[in-house]
Amino acid sequence: MARLQIHTGLPDVTLDVMIPEYMKSLKAQEAGISEKEYYENRNLPVLWLLHGARGNAADWPRYSMVEVYAEEKGLIVVCPTGNNGWWVNQAAGIPWEDVVTEKLWELVHGTFPTSDMPEDNYIAGLSMGGYGAMRIGLRHPERYSRIAAFSAGFGIPRRYAAGGFNALSGEETFGDPDKVLGSQYDEFYTAEERAASGNPLPPIYLSCGTKDGLYDINVEYREHLKKLGYDVVWDEAPYAHEWRFWDQQVEKFIKTLP
């Protein structure tokens, strides 16, 4: 894969992009496909991959082997930086959801050899990025057709509403605690809203380590989705909140893609 580290020119937003390349595609070379023929297809699927809290665009490329898995699949990977903004349009901060679904959507699809059809765009993330991918994926059927969340930070808006979460930009992000539940920030509500929208429901990949403090809330979210009629693939393994687990998970998720 070619690796692109991008200063986008948009305030606060950097981007790490990985694009399959001929010299690393043994499959194409063994099949006798020439460089020119290989590069003729400028219509590749895209995996949007969101980082966790205290992370940035370089986390996925640094700590996982996603490059190897995506290379085998012929997939472009896009990793944005979203600071500690929970990937939502913050109550008093940056509109991260708009950044991802509009500004970066334009930059990525206007520049790189991608398909911009929803059936070729998938969104996934870990921890805070799992919450973000789930919420953004459910709210934008016109953009993404598959969603994955690993060790997702579900239940944070609920804790914030109850006064139990004040770390990591809670106030800047979610605003008035009395108005959070049942709002656009409440991922349980988002799943209900999508189920009631009449749009087809996307297949969902959910997973969490059994030693992770977020295990119970992820199980609860899985049951919530199932009750609403979503098709959920679940996976778990004896891990805590850690990269060894997320590396395995991103490989498994990529293998489920068409």
Partner 1 sequence: MAYVRLTMMSGRLHGKTDISVFLPSKKRPAGMGGRGAVPKASYDKNEVYQVLWLIHGGGDDYTAWALDAMIQRACDAAQLIVIMPTILDLAGTRKDIDIMGFMTEELPEAMRFMFPISPRRQDNFIAGLSYGGYFSYRCAMTHPDMYACVGSFSSPLDVAEDVRRLHAGDPSFDSEKITGTDRDILYLTSKLKEEGREMPKSFQTVGTEDFTWDFNITARDHFMKLNMDHTFIQRPGTHNFEFWDAALKDFLEWLPLTRSTVRKERF
Residues that bind partner 1 (CB under 8 A): 2-11, 19, 21-24, 35-36, 39, 42, 102-103, 106-107, 109-113, 116
Residue 12 CB, shortest distance to partner 1, in Å, is 10
Residue 252 CB, shortest distance to partner 1, in Å, is 26
Between 79 and 107, whose beta carbon lies closer to partner 1? 107
* Torsion angle (degrees, nearest 10) of CA 80, 86, 87, 90: -130
The Cα 225–Cα 140 span in angstroms is 17
The Cα 159–Cα 115 span in angstroms is 38
Between 77 and 206, whose beta carbon lies closer to partner 1? 77
In 70-191, DSSP assigns E strands to 76-80, 121-126, 146-150
Q: Which residues lie across from 79 on neighbouring strands?
A: 16
Residue 37 CB, shortest distance to partner 1, in Å, is 10
- The Cα-based distances of 152 to 80, 95, 246, 250 in angstroms read 17, 20, 11, 13
Contact 20, 70 (CB under 8 A): yes
Residue 69 CB, shortest distance to partner 1, in Å, is 17
Between 21 and 242, whose beta carbon lies closer to partner 1? 21
Between 6 and 181, whose beta carbon lies closer to partner 1? 6
